[in-house]
Amino acid sequence: MPDRFTRRNFLESVATSVAVTGLATADETGPIPTRVLGKTGAKVTIVALGCGNRLQRYGEEGAIQAIHTALDQGIGYLDTAFGYGRGASETWVGKVMKTRRKQVFLATKIEPRNGDEAARILEQSLKRLQTDQIDLIHVHGLSTEDDLAQIEAEGGVLQALYKLRDQKVCRFIGITSHSDPVVLKTALERHDFDCTQMALNAAMQGFMSGTGGNMAPNPNLKTSFQNVALPVAVQKNLGSLGMKVMGQDNLLQPGPAKVDPAMLFRYTLSLPVATVVLGMPTHDFIRQNATWARAFKPLSESQMKEFSRQTAERHKASIDRIFAAHVDA
């Protein structure tokens, strides 16, 4: 991070919070720690349930039960999107929100770049989610410079989200990206977002900026969301959310290069983020992530550097290739 003083203060504040509240234990009955979501002022649990393709593997009945399990474990942030099964995930989340809405910071995401189309879909998202207000709506999956131009165009989705925020349909708006940190940096610098969600893992995922939809993996280990886009989010006090913590499980493949998932979890949570969004395909995964969150202690700066060096040298190039074509659905 460019601002070492900011990063050091962040780690010190996290360590102090953990020590004072006694959350550095793996007590399965204790609360999950919370952090402030940047300038929003909202407090969110440091681990969030991603309701994308891993939730869809359960099927409807199983997904609903998995969401209940996550809430029972103290996970208080749900991350869904219209694009997760074209509304199926939102529908399943809504069946839980019908009775447990007050326990949840609820985020969804919208894919269309046309503002009218996005507004129509989000009107139905409210019904699917069975709520009168969504806490956070993201523009989903920013990719290239051309994509950003569509998002910010007259009549585009960004204008629609500003309007929905003004109307209190949502409390906050944000933007997500797992493909190009340079384009995300530009978007964060230009526009009035409250939050942002980006790929943050020890493999230093990221690309060089491309044009016309063309991007190529970048061998430079310093080109990553952590080093390019996250500092802007910190400077603007945006609510920052980490995703792709396990590299869509590609960092966990069997063999000598497999990375310790507990360390990957600790690494991203040691960055200046409010929470990490994780897909959890089994109830054991849900309970394990909740346990890790309760026991969390930040890595030191030297530990982070060494762990990231080892992980990035082995995996950055392959992770970049994988995410060049990855669609978050």
Q: What is the pLDDT of residues 270-302, one digit of tens each?
A: 999 999 999 999 999 999 999 999 999 999 999
pLDDT of 99 higher than 80: yes
Q: Decide if 162 is catalytic.
A: no
pLDDT of 61 higher than 90: yes
The residue to which tokens 């131009």 are assigned: 149
Q: Chain centroid to CA 263: how far? A: 18
Q: What is the percentage of the chain residues whose pLDDT exceeds 90?
A: 78
Task: Tell me the angle at which helices 115-129 and 88-100 cross, rounded to the nearest 10 degrees.
Answer: 40
Neighbouring C-alpha atoms within 13 Å toward the C-beta of 124: 15
Q: What angle do CA 260, 265, 266 make, to 5 degrees?
A: 100
Lowest mean pLDDT segment, chosen from 91-105, 198-212, 289-303:
198-212
Structure confidence at residue 213 (pLDDT)? 44
Q: How confident is the model over 234-262, as a mean pLDDT?
A: 93
Structure token digits, residue 40: 């929003």
pLDDT of 155 higher than 80: yes
Structure confidence at residue 321 (pLDDT)? 82
Calculate the CA dihedral of residues 70, 74, 80, 86 and round it to 10 degrees. 30
Lowest mean pLDDT segment, chosen from 58-72, 110-124, 211-225:
211-225
Residue 11 and residue 279 in contact, taking contact as beta carbons nearer than 8 Å: no
pLDDT of 39 higher than 90: yes
The SS3 assignment for 23 reads: coil
Q: What value does the mean pLDDT of the chain take?
A: 89
Task: Tell me the angle at which helices 88-100 and 59-72 cross, rounded to the nearest 10 degrees.
Answer: 40
The residue to which tokens 């890595």 are assigned: 299
Lowest mean pLDDT segment, chosen from 14-18, 115-119, 123-127, 229-233:
14-18
pLDDT of 3 higher than 70: no
Long-range contacts of 93-100 (CB under 8 A, 24+ apart): 93/51, 93/67, 93/128, 93/129, 94/127, 94/128, 94/129, 94/130, 94/131, 95/64, 95/130, 96/64, 96/67, 96/68, 96/71, 97/129, 97/130, 97/131, 98/130, 100/68, 100/71
Model confidence band, residue 257 (pLDDT cutoffs 50, 70, 90): confident
pLDDT, one tens digit per residue, over 100-150 is 999 999 999 999 999 999 999 999 999 999 999 999 999 999 999 999 999
Model confidence band, residue 73 (pLDDT cutoffs 50, 70, 90): very high
Catalytic residue among 58, 84, 162, 267: 84
Model confidence band, residue 219 (pLDDT cutoffs 50, 70, 90): low
Neighbouring C-alpha atoms within 13 Å toward the C-beta of 245: 28
Q: Chain centroid to CA 5: how far? A: 24
8-state DSSP, 211: B
